[in-house]
């Protein structure tokens, strides 16, 4: 998914969160990305 709409140039958002799974292969990557985002905003 692109960061902005190619037609109207509006910022895109995810429609819904991914389905929960105990065998989530990408959970560590999401947690790492969220942690970096919090550090950039000064929340940690």
- DSSP code per residue over the chain: --SB-TTT-PBP--SSPPPP-TT-SSHHHHHHHHHHHHHHHT--
* Tens-place pLDDT, residues 1-44: 678 888 898 888 878 877 888 888 888 998 999 999 999 988 87
**φ and ψ at residue 11, rounded to 5 degrees:** -70, 135
Question: What pLDDT is stored for residue 16 in this prediction?
Answer: 83
Contact (Cβ atoms closer than 8 angstroms) between residue 14 and residue 6: no
Contacts of 5 (CB under 8 A, 6+ apart): 11, 12
């Amino acid at each position: 998914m692109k960061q902005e709409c190619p037609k109207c140039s509006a910022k895109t958002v995810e429609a819904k969160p991914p389905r929960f799974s105990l065998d989530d292969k990408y959970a560590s990557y999401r947690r790492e990305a969220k942690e970096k985002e919090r550090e950039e905003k000064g929340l940690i």
